[in-house]
Every structure is written in C-alpha cells, then in structure tokens.
Amino acid sequence: MLVRPGMLIIAGMALVAAGVLFLLQNSNQTAPREAVSMVSSKDGTSRPDYKDYQFGRPDDPIVDAGFQPLSFPAGTVPTIMMHDRWLNKQLADRGIKLEFHPFLDGNDANGFLFSGKLEMLWAGDMPTINAAARSAIVVTAQIKNAFTSVVASNLNTMEQLKGHRIGYAHGSTAHQVLLHGLQLYHVDEKEVQLVRVPINQLIGSFQKGTIDAFVAWEPVPTMAMGIIKDLTVLYRAMTQSYLYFAKPFAEAHPDLVKVLTAANLRAVRWLSQRQENMRQGCRWQATLVNDFVKEPYPVTVSQCVTIVQRDLLDPLPMTLISMDNLKPGGVIEQQVQFLQHVGALKTDSDPSRIPAAFNPAILQEIIRDQVDWKIHEFDYR
C-alpha cells in the first residue's frame, strides 16, 4: 500500500488502528494558521501547511477526498466512513484506495479540486457554489442544514456592532451570514471592522481581545457558549454543506460515485440508529481534530452529539438536496450574488449554470435501491 503523508487512509481491507491511521510525515507539523481569501491565486494550495500532502497520479487506483475535521457535523460523516468496513470491501473489490486529506477550510480544499488533485470533498455551501462556478462538479448529497451564528458579549443587537471588530472567514458561509445580518439591521459594512481569522482561532482571538465579536458555523458557537460567559447570539441564519465530485471523475466512474454517495448516506443512517453511535462517531472525530490542530479542541462529545442530532439527523437522516434551493431566485442564486459582491466570483458569472451541478437523481436512485446499496447494513470499527 502506498503510504501518503498528511492524510487519513482507507486502503482495501487494511484498516489500521481501529480503522483509521493519521499519517504525518513531520511529527511537528502544525495546523493551518493563516486565513486565506477565496480570491487568492492558489486558493490555499500554496499554503505551507499542505506542502507535504501527496495525491494519486491520474493512472493510480486512488480516490483522493478532502474534508474538514473541524466542521460539525459535515466532518463527522467522512469520519464515520473511515470506519466503514462495507465501504472498505466494496472499494477493495474494485481495486480502489480511498484517501482522506484534512483541510481547515473548504476553499483550500477547492484549490486542490481545481488542480485535479482531489476527486471528491465535503464542504459548505459557499465553497460548493464557488466550485460549481469555477469548475465542473457533480453535487450528490446535502450533508447538513444548520445555523451559522454571529456572537458577542456585552452586546444585544446587530446594531450595537457598529465600531466593533468582527472575526470571520472571508468568502465563507459565515461571511455571507454576517453581511446579510448587517444589511438586515441597517448596519453598513464600513461601520464595522471585519477581521479575517481562521476558524480554529476565533475563540482564542475573542478571549485575547483582538476581536469583539465573530461569526462561525458549528461547533464554534456551541464551544464558545460553554467557555465564555455572557456570550450572546446576535443573529443566525440557516446554511448547508454538501458532498461533491469532480465532474470528469463522476462521468468516468459513475459506479464509484454511487458507492461513495451510498456510504455517505449509510454513515448518516448509522448515526441515527442510537445515541451510542453518535457518541462513538463524535469520539472518532475528536481524535482526528486533536491530531489535526495539534492541541486539545474544546468541544465535548455531548456537544458534538447535540450538534449532530440537531443539524444532521432532524427531521430525517436523508441527505437529500433541497430542490427549492435550486429554483430561480432561490438560495443558490442568492449565494452566487453574494460571492460576486465580495469578489470571490467574477461579476459576469452566470447564476443559472450553478444548479446544473446538483444531481439529486443519484441519491434518489440509491434510496430506491437501498437494499442493493446496503444502506441499512452497518459494520463500523
């Protein structure tokens, strides 16, 4: 088996250390620390934190997948898949290896997708829209439908943010939520100071006093509420995460796309079976997170379970793409307009071509033939 540094690997039936082996070529490798804009020339691929990452060549029987271990529950699902022995067998029967590459940011992962190094990834709605606008992708599943929140202490309204420093990730789902909230409450962007902060440094920056408020997706708001006294949610809005594939890969390997999309749904169904499954999945993810950021990550298993239950499993563990979001004037078109507004997409990008990247028929077929795809046959170790 080819060992590739900086990744989590599933290779045939060789599941190491209870199904997951976190490989780091350099033992003192640190987590990504610098914020990167979606409009940077390399889209994160030039960041030194990823310099030791290696990927399969075009002729290698390898599927390279990107995911964000710090994202809950979007990072929980690929974590579960790393322990899926059914998936492992299905891939081994096809002579395929699946290798997982951890990223701090979906925009960073997109850079590797654009350069042909990744075949699939899980990311939030903004990176997904950006990928659909800039590259040919196929979106097969919606992973979560959750709130992203603007939080602060000693402030009670969005209007009171005037003159304050707000931490955010540029061009992200959180960025859109922040700007929408400011607009809704008649606060001009120029009346606040926007500070780019990596997602894993928001709480620390707030505690140090370098920012007065921040906007983030889960689990950061939940973690912060448990650590910082008098923290208030000033505004929140619903956001989504997705699973998508590079279109050339999807067209060349439609069966593999179904195998992987089915495994994604099977992981969600397994989580929904009982509380202990959620707790086990959260424990696995906590281990990955701590290895990735090289320090204890202050989210408890109980907090993770709450997030998974609320944002992934309620009301039904289906991972279906919302067709309403794809309609003209719907959520997807609004997100395209936002990315154009912040300079993450060219202003002449055509919003109408984005919905074509979403293919709900693939998951619908899997659900229809769920016995064949073993959606309810669980073997996780």
Task: For residue 63, give the CATH number of its domain.
Answer: 3.40.190.10
Asked whether 150 and 178 are in contact (CB, 8 A), the reply is yes
Do 247 and 324 reside in the same domain of the chain? yes
The reply to whether 20 and 130 lie within a common domain is yes
Q: How many CB atoms lie within 10 A of CB 364?
A: 12
Q: Are residues 157 and 288 in the same domain?
A: no
Three-state DSSP class for residue 118? coil
Ranges of the chain whose pLDDT falls below 70: 1-43, 315-318, 347-349, 351
At 83, give phi and psi (nearest 5°): -105, 10
Q: What is the pLDDT of residue 97?
A: 96
Give the model confidence (pLDDT) of 241-289 as tens digits.
999 999 999 999 999 999 999 999 999 999 999 999 999 999 999 999 9
Q: List strands edge to edge, sheet with 213-216.
A: 22-23, 7-11, 97-102, 62-67, 120-124, 231-246, 137-153, 213-216, 165-168, 193-196
Tell me, what's the pLDDT at 43? 57
Q: Is residue 373 part of a domain?
A: no
What are the φ/ψ torsions at residue 270 (nearest 5 degrees)? -60, -45
Determine, yes or no, domain membership for 380: no
Same domain, 42 and 117: yes
Let me know if residue 122 belongs to a domain.
yes
Q: Give the chain's domain count.
A: 2
Are residues 176 and 295 located together in one domain of the fold?
Answer: no
Length of the chain as a residue count: 381
- Helices 106-114 and 125-134: crossing angle in degrees, nearest 10, is 20
Residue 235 and residue 246 share a domain? no
Q: What is the pLDDT of residue 316?
A: 67
**Has residue 379 been placed in a domain?**
no
Query: Of 189, 207, 239, which residue sits at a domain end?
Result: 239
Same domain, 132 and 72: yes
Which class for 344: exposed (0-12), middle (13-18), buried (19 or more C-beta within 10 A)? buried
